[in-house]
Amino acid sequence: MTITLKDAGRNRKLNRNDVRLLWYADFWDGPINGLCIYQNKKHWFEMSADDAFPDTNQRRFVVLDLSPEQLADEEQWHELFRQKVGTHCDFEEPHPEIKPIEFHREFYDTYQQRATRDFSANVVIGWFEMT
């Protein structure tokens, strides 16, 4: 999924301190997407594909509203990840751990069959920056 700040241009910049990151799902030199809390509600955050700001080392993330079904699906997959792979993707985990590698396939074999996420019709709440 590709979301740009241009897509979310009508939305406001959120104060990073008001966004509490819970976990990331994808990572490449830093989080790419995952679940967060904004205004006491769980939302999806997704790194913007916007290259309009090349002079900064800040990543920009779009915050998306999730349907109850989408939220339940993300939480179910994340819990399976925690059980089979580890808790190292949780931002607030006091003692992150990685499970023994022989359990990882139990998650990844199932995950390969998962339909691709599509949040393109979800409401954009706003965006924030993070290094």
Q: How many domains, in total, are found in the chain?
A: 1
| Tokens 């089979």 belong to residue | 84
Residue 6 lies in a domain: no
For 90-120, write each residue's pLDDT tens digit.
Answer: 999 999 999 999 999 999 999 999 999 999 8
Domain range spanning residue 105? 12-130
Residue 18 lies in a domain: yes
Residue 123 lies in a domain: yes
- Residue 58's pLDDT band (cuts 50, 70, 90): confident
Q: Residues 54, 18, 33, CA angle at the centre, nearest 5°?
A: 55
Average of per-residue pLDDT across 73-92: 98
Residue 20 lies in a domain: yes
Residue 53 lies in a domain: yes
Counting Cα atoms < 13 Å in the Cβ hemisphere of 85 gives 17
Instruction: Tell me the whole-structure pTM to 2 decimals.
Output: 0.88
